[in-house]
Amino acid sequence: MADFHVAGMMLRYSTFVPQLYNLCKSLGFQPGKIMPSRAFCSDENQGYPIILITKHFGVFPFNHGQVGGIVATDRHAPHAEHGHDMVIIHASHVGYDPERGAFGDYRRLQSEDQHLTASCGKIEAVLRWYQDEYAFACDNILLERHDGQYLVTIDNQLLRENRDEGLFLNLERMVAPAVGQEFRPVRCLSTAKSLNAAPELRRSMEQAGWEEGQREPIARRLLPEYFRFKRDIQGDLEGRSHLEQNLFQPMAWIVTSTHPLLTAAQVNTQVEFDRTFRTIVREHGYQGKRVMYISGLHIDISPQPDQRFPLTKFVPWAAFVQQPDGSHYTLEQVELFAQLRAQPSENPDEIDLEESIHQMELARQVHIEAP
């Protein structure tokens, strides 16, 4: 996650799409023969990027997306049949409320009171259980200075290792082992046990000036290094639990993040790019074709009352490029961003959507003979 930069890497969508189109042209993609596809969440705030893709590529994009920003790789073959050169744009998304400077919320203009809701809602739903487990641990692990000792008092439930699922502590990082490397309580309370704090945790308490008798919940001092999660997730690839599987391994870092939904969207983007590009390489339908697969993050800025669409920004992560002779390469974030920025933001091939719709309205009616 540390290599996925957001600051300094954002492109306004109205600039990004023509720059992507021009980058494809510079790589040999043929205007009028490019079949774009989008792999976005089904959220309505993903509609504006789709409109811009249609405008600049001249065709409504194929749909590779599932809820939460999962790529439906079983759609590669039909996508390959719909064009000469292929482009797939994948993005997880996160809302942004500019009034509060907060990631993870988006204003729904079509709701009765135009309220803010979680965005992406699918990601928020996946995180909820883990955030509840983390909140319980933050409240029920206490740091204490008692009789000159620096103690960690832990709720008995969090010490039970025979649980099927939940938040499990990495006690070797939090508690000083006794003789024989066993964790022995200093005190046994009715619902918890007190143990000597590990040297690292003790130093942090000393530096904070912990006083005799002071006792507080560990709260946000419960760092991701101190715990892990255990949960039985059904292994349904590209199904209901796919997003949760993508996020599970780094979940401790996600729930402790300042902006959990932003961090989760970044993780999902990374995992899906790594997974999907391997399926593109193996897809027979893409062999002998030019292919651009680009993955990134959509930041959906809540619209103001006089705006109909979000001011979407795109943060590129990586791109995979394949030529008809089978040669291919990957562009990492910094290089990809530089190549996009080097392209002009004007597209001479863009279509006038209003005029195109008007032409269809004026077209001679076709009578269909029903059987």
| Token pair belonging to 160 | 């039970």
The mean pLDDT value for 123-128 works out to 96
- Give the dihedral of Cα atoms 150, 155, 158, 163; nearest 10 deg: 150
pLDDT tens-digit series, residues 81-122: 999 999 999 999 999 998 888 999 988 877 777 778 888 999
- pLDDT bucket at 180, cuts 50 / 70 / 90: low
- pLDDT bucket at 360, cuts 50 / 70 / 90: confident
Confidence at residue 367, expressed as pLDDT on a 0 to 100 scale = 86
Exposure string for 218-236, b = 16+ CB within 10 A, e = fewer: beeebbbebbebeeeeeee
Is 238 within 8 Å of 167 (Cβ atoms)? Answer: no
Confidence at residue 118, expressed as pLDDT on a 0 to 100 scale = 87
The mean-pLDDT minimum among 101-105, 261-265, 342-346, 364-368 falls in 364-368
| Token pair belonging to 265 | 């969207």
- pLDDT bucket at 181, cuts 50 / 70 / 90: low
Q: Mean of the per-residue pLDDT values for the chain?
A: 93
| Token pair belonging to 229 | 């999660």
- Angle, alpha carbons 314-93-347 (nearest 5°): 30
Is 244 within 8 Å of 233 (Cβ atoms)? Answer: yes
Side-chain half-sphere CA neighbours of 234 within 13 A: 5
Report the predicted TM-score, pTM, of the whole model to 2 decimal places.
Answer: 0.92
pLDDT higher than threshold 80 for residue 124: yes
- Every domain of the chain and the residues it spans: 11-104+259-362, 128-230
Confidence at residue 37, expressed as pLDDT on a 0 to 100 scale = 98
Confidence at residue 361, expressed as pLDDT on a 0 to 100 scale = 85
Query: For tokens 């249609």, what's the residue?
Result: 54
Long-range contacts of 246-249 (CB under 8 A, 24+ apart): 246/70, 246/271, 246/272, 247/123, 247/126, 247/127
